[in-house]
Amino acid sequence: MLMIRAIIRPERVNAVLSELCDAGFPAVTKIDVMGRGKQRGVKVGDVFYDEIPKEMLMMVVKDEDKDDVVKLIMKNAKTGQKGAFGDGKIFISPVEEAYTISSGSTGL
């Protein structure tokens, strides 16, 4: 199992979530976060904003589903043809165990 954490633009969340649901990955957790990237924030006039609001989508998927999910998120979170700075990042980390609380069973 792998945990996918994608930090994306707040206005792209709806598009990503509905595509994920249609593709058969309904389970997802959304967390409001603030952050900056390699570009050190956004400069507007003389002011530098380095705490930019983003949304983090967290989901745990089977190893073989990783590529599909990442592709889906990339496709829908991108803005413009080539993409732009600030579209976000996706991080993937291993998950050793998963439990469902209601039944106590292991696995996704």
Partner 1 sequence: MKEIMAIIRMDMINKTKDALLKEDFPSFHCKKVMGRGKKKVDYSLLEGLIGENERTLSPMLAEVISEGHRLLPKRLISLIVQDDQVKKAVDIIINTNSKGNQGDGKIFVLPVAETIRVRTGESGDEAV
Q: Which is nearer to partner 1, 26 or 83 (CB)?
A: 26
Residue range at the interface with partner 1 (CB under 8 A); choices 13-21, 38-46, 63-71, 75-83: 13-21
* Separation of alpha carbons 60 and 5, rounded Å: 9
State the nearest-atom distance from the C-beta of 8 to partner 1, in Å. 14
CB neighbour list of residue 92: distance below 8 Å, 6 or more residues apart: 2, 3, 4, 5, 66, 70
Among 23, 31, 84, 92, indicate the residue that binds partner 1 (CB under 8 A).
31
Look at the chain and count its residues: 108
Position 53 contacts partner 1 (CB under 8 A): no
